[in-house]
Amino acid sequence: MRIATKTRYALRFMIDLAEHESEGRIPMKKIAERQLISKKYLEQVVAPLSEAGLITVTRGATGGYAIARPAREITLDEIVQATEGDLYLLDCLEGSFDCPLSMRCSTQRVWKGLEHAVTSYLRGITLEDALDLEPSVD
């Protein structure tokens, strides 16, 4: 399992929005500067977040981005789902992989358990929780 750069940046983007929520709509340029991510790349990151209903987008001179729900109601799993879909440790767990050992594989339950643990962990952490995990940059 490898988390894509797009997902890592989506999480940073969402944490930034939550952290600066009191400022209202935040321009992409500000977020890009604070997160040291190119504006062009962030533009690709926001599309799936918007489609998933996690952010609101307002165009125009006074436009910007904001989280669509309170930070305490958005889980990290929702962010991962928006950018990656389901996380699979191995191809054989995805279901589309044809393995001759799948019916008698002795390790498959181990990997499914680990996959479940990761998903449960992400479902158990909200964006608000993630703010508390972030190191202070004062």
- pLDDT tens for the chain, 138 residues: list them: 678 899 999 999 999 999 999 999 999 999 999 999 999 999 999 999 999 999 999 988 888 999 999 999 999 999 999 998 877 666 666 665 666 666 677 777 788 888 889 889 999 999 999 988 756 554
What local confidence, expressed as pLDDT, does residue 31 receive? 96
Neighbours of 14 (CB within 10 A): 25
What local confidence, expressed as pLDDT, does residue 101 receive? 65
Q: Is residue 82 part of a domain?
A: yes
Q: Is residue 34 part of a domain?
A: yes
| Distance between CA atoms of residues 22 and 17, nearest Å | 9
Q: Is residue 121 part of a domain?
A: yes
Its domain, for residue 81, covers 5-133
Between the two ends of the chain, the Cα-to-Cα distance in Å is 33
What local confidence, expressed as pLDDT, does residue 62 receive? 83
What local confidence, expressed as pLDDT, does residue 60 receive? 85
Q: Is residue 138 part of a domain?
A: no
Q: Is residue 109 part of a domain?
A: yes
Positive or negative, the CA dihedral 128, 130, 135, 138 is: negative
Count of domains for the chain: 1
What local confidence, expressed as pLDDT, does residue 138 receive? 47
What local confidence, expressed as pLDDT, does residue 51 receive? 96
What local confidence, expressed as pLDDT, does residue 61 receive? 82
Q: Is residue 126 part of a domain?
A: yes
What local confidence, expressed as pLDDT, does residue 107 receive? 77
Q: 11 vs 2, 65, 82, 89, 113, CA distance in Å?
A: 15, 14, 11, 20, 24
Q: Is residue 16 part of a domain?
A: yes
- As a whole number of Å, the CA-based R_g of the chain is 17
Angle, CA 128 vertex, CA 73 and CA 52 arms, to 5°: 45
Q: Is residue 59 part of a domain?
A: yes
Number of DSSP helices (H) and strands (E) in the chain, helices first? 7, 2
Those residues whose C-beta lies under 8 Å from the C-beta of residue 53, and which sit 6 or more positions away, are 68
What local confidence, expressed as pLDDT, does residue 12 receive? 95
**CATH code of the domain in which 69 resides:** 1.10.10.10
Q: At what angle do helices 5-19 and 39-51 cross, to 10 degrees?
A: 80
